Amino acid sequence: MRHTYRCPLRWADMDAFGHVNNVVFLRYLEEARIDFMFRLAPGEGDASFKGGSVVARHEIDYKRQLVHRHEPVQIDLWVTRIGAASATIAYEVKDDDAVYVRASTVVVPFDFASGRPRRLSEGERAFLGVYFEEPEAAAA
Amino acid sequence: MRHTYRCPLRWADMDAFGHVNNVVFLRYLEEARIDFMFRLAPGEGDASFKGGSVVARHEIDYKRQLVHRHEPVQIDLWVTRIGAASATIAYEVKDDDAVYVRASTVVVPFDFASGRPRRLSEGERAFLGVYFEEPEAAAA
Amino acid sequence: MRHTYRCPLRWADMDAFGHVNNVVFLRYLEEARIDFMFRLAPGEGDASFKGGSVVARHEIDYKRQLVHRHEPVQIDLWVTRIGAASATIAYEVKDDDAVYVRASTVVVPFDFASGRPRRLSEGERAFLGVYFEEPEAAAA
Amino acid sequence: MRHTYRCPLRWADMDAFGHVNNVVFLRYLEEARIDFMFRLAPGEGDASFKGGSVVARHEIDYKRQLVHRHEPVQIDLWVTRIGAASATIAYEVKDDDAVYVRASTVVVPFDFASGRPRRLSEGERAFLGVYFEEPEAAAA
């Protein structure tokens, strides 16, 4: 199953070249991830994604320029790997007829109190499992 | 040869977790790249990186948290691939005794007038060649 | 009449103090203004707000902290002055039971081709007039 | 006495109009203020500006456009009011031959532990006094 987040743009997301700046797409991915991990995922408090998680890695491919408009852009998000202490999230930023960005992020749950990464809980693994898809052979 | 850019931090680069937000590191890489491609590279006008270039891909690995301080952070930047119409830039964001981020970016010279990518010029290839290093087997 | 814009927050709008950073509220005001001047206002092309406008002045009073949540915050926007070559917009950033920010902005239509401010057109004055309210004696 | 901060620009501070976005100037003021209040001001720990302070009000006048360049822009900063529980800071963002922005900020020391503003300490008042100037009759 894929989670769909409709991400609002801001006018200032554009840079002097008049299109959405490449760095801002990572901000859009963060928003989609926060909607997924902080709002949709179960659990509150320190032992949850919301209590702390860090990014270990991003890969991002830019396919097409995006210019500011008043309508949100669609971000599809799913899970391609569930490890002991990390997971990989894949995304597609798109409209019905265009893909702007394909990307993936390795996320690590983190305990800010101890300053250390922590293992995924059973509940987190179950939640992530609902959105799991085998990565394609030629995934971005 | 590696180009070294000393990147100033801003206090607001930190997020609610009290460290430099992962997306902001991409902004730091942009600043290093702009110093390299817009200031250091020869040439002005439309037929130069400054006249237009887009990012086709980023890979970024986060190694260590960075907290705001008044001193800049060092970014080493070099070239690991020179293609016909694109080049790959590698970076290390670091202090003397710590590496925060390793990353690479595929950059494509772009003609915004025609809305199309263009080939690297001889001058651009010569410039990039000065900073070329074979990628390591186990490069990030 | 007041224009109401429901402004989405982003998680990274928070700073290391764990609340929406004071500078980001100006970004929210920009989003409300762009919705008002670029989407709602009539006219396309160079001779419209969208073709170019600059900010001459902001005043902003912070009344209450705002913390990230998934629901948008409401921004009410109206016009308190219509001059020959500028107008003043007032705003309230709020929820039903709380005001976070009161602010005002002097906006100047600007012709980027000539690099000069320009006068408001009749159509622009008529549009702004619909949202005009006498400023209160004790306005923020 | 005025405090001078040399503020580095970032390329992405420019918006689609090709100049530094009006909101970003507030970020520059924040950087100047942080240099003044977090680095230059005496004291560490919770009972210091660094331990917490919030902005109660900004006024900002835009005098001239600024375009990205590799050299920092100069920000002069001084104090125009020292109250019991707040102070007003004035700024000029400029080069030798041009003023881009004049602005002022009301800053309130804040105790994030109790969630309440606090009074200025004697040490803070003495520090601010060194940079005090009577506001001009026609101050921005």
Residues B108, B84: Cα–Cα separation, whole Å: 10
pLDDT for res D38: 87
pLDDT band at B138 (very low <50, low <70, confident <90, very high): low
Other C-beta atoms lying within 10 Å of the C-beta of residue B95: 14
User: Range with the lowest mean pLDDT among B46-55, B104-113, C70-79, C119-128?
Assistant: B46-55
pLDDT band at A22 (very low <50, low <70, confident <90, very high): very high
Residues D63, B23: Cα–Cα separation, whole Å: 32
Is residue D112's pLDDT more than 60? yes
Query: Which residue in chain C has the smallest CA separation from A11?
Result: C31
Two tokens at A138? 């030629």
Question: For the residues of C102-135, what is the DSSP string, one character each?
Answer: EEEEEEEEEETTTTEE-PPPHHHHHHHHHTB-PP
Residues C98, A107: Cα–Cα separation, whole Å: 36
Cβ–Cβ of B26/A22 closer than 8 Å? yes
Is residue B140's pLDDT more than 50? no
Which of left, alpha, beta for C40 (phi over 0: left; psi -120 to 50: alpha)?
alpha
Two tokens at C44? 């396309």
Question: For B125, what's the count of Cα atoms within 13 Å in the CB-facing half-sphere?
Answer: 9
Signed CA dihedral, B28, B32, B33, B34: sign only:
positive
Percent above pLDDT 70 for chain D = 91
Q: What is the rounded average pLDDT of the residues B75-96?
A: 98
Classify domain D3-130 at the CATH superfamily level: Hotdog Thioesterase (3.10.129.10)
Signed CA dihedral, A74, A79, A84, A86: sign only:
negative
User: Range with the lowest mean pLDDT among A103-112, B39-48, B87-96, B97-106?
Assistant: B39-48
Q: CA dist B59 to A60, B77, B109, Å? A: 7, 14, 19
Using CB atoms within 10 Å of the CB of residue C71, give its burial: 0 to 12 exposed, 13 to 18 middle, 19+ buried: exposed
Is residue D76's pLDDT more than 70? yes
pLDDT for res B42: 75
Among C81, C108, C78, residue whose Cα is nearest residue C90: C78
Query: Which residue in chain B has the smallest CA separation from D72?
Result: B8
pLDDT band at D113 (very low <50, low <70, confident <90, very high): confident
Q: Cα torsion at C100, C101, C102, C103 (round to 10°)?
A: -170
pLDDT (tens digit per residue) in D33-58: 999 998 888 765 545 776 788 999 99
pLDDT band at C115 (very low <50, low <70, confident <90, very high): confident
Signed CA dihedral, C117, C119, C122, C127: sign only:
positive
User: Range with the lowest mean pLDDT among B84-98, B107-121, C79-93?
Assistant: B107-121
Interface of C with D in 87-116 (CB under 8 A): 112
Nearest Cβ partner for D57 among C54, C60, C65: C60
Please give the radius of gyration of chain A, using alpha carbons only, rounded to the nearest integer.
15
pLDDT for res D140: 47
Which residues of C fall within a CB distance of 8 Å from D23?
23, 26-27, 30
Query: What's D85's DSSP letter?
Result: S
Using CB atoms within 10 Å of the CB of residue C68, give its burial: 0 to 12 exposed, 13 to 18 middle, 19+ buried: middle
Nearest Cβ partner for C30 among A11, A27, A34: A11
pLDDT for res D88: 98
Q: Does residue A60 or residue A51 have the better pLDDT? A: A60
Cβ–Cβ of B8/D11 closer than 8 Å? no
pLDDT band at B115 (very low <50, low <70, confident <90, very high): confident
Alpha-carbon gap: D115 to the closest alpha carbon of chain C (Å): 10
Query: Which residue in chain D has the smallest CA separation from A20?
Result: D16
Two tokens at A106? 């390795």
D117 touches chain C (CB under 8 A): no
Q: How many residues does chain A have?
A: 140
Residues D69, B49: Cα–Cα separation, whole Å: 15
Cβ–Cβ of D34/B27 closer than 8 Å? no
Signed CA dihedral, B18, B24, B25, B28: sign only:
negative
Alpha-carbon gap: D129 to the closest alpha carbon of chain B (Å): 24
Two tokens at D50? 């660094």
Q: Cα torsion at B34, B38, B40, B46 (round to 10°)?
A: 160
pLDDT (tens digit per residue) in C2-45: 999 999 999 999 999 999 999 999 999 999 999 999 888 876 55
Percent above pLDDT 90 for chain D = 78
- Pairing, β C53-62 against β D53-62: antiparallel
Give the rounded distance of the alpha carbon of C69 from its chain centre: 22
pLDDT for res D84: 96
pLDDT (tens digit per residue) in C35-62: 999 888 876 554 577 678 899 999 999 9
Q: What is the rounded average pLDDT of the residues A3-20?
A: 97
Domain ranges of chain B: 3-130
Is residue A28's pLDDT more than 70? yes
Other C-beta atoms lying within 10 Å of the C-beta of residue A56: 19
Cβ–Cβ of A23/B22 closer than 8 Å? no
User: Range with the lowest mean pLDDT among A36-50, D13-27, D87-101?
Assistant: A36-50
Using CB atoms within 10 Å of the CB of residue C34, give its burial: 0 to 12 exposed, 13 to 18 middle, 19+ buried: buried
- Pairing, β D3-7 against β C116-117: unpaired
Q: What is the rounded average pLDDT of the residues C62-83?
A: 97
A50 touches chain C (CB under 8 A): no
Signed CA dihedral, D49, D50, D54, D58: sign only:
positive
Is residue A3's pLDDT more than 60? yes
User: What angle separates helix B22-34 from helix A22-34, to the nearest 10 degrees?
Assistant: 180
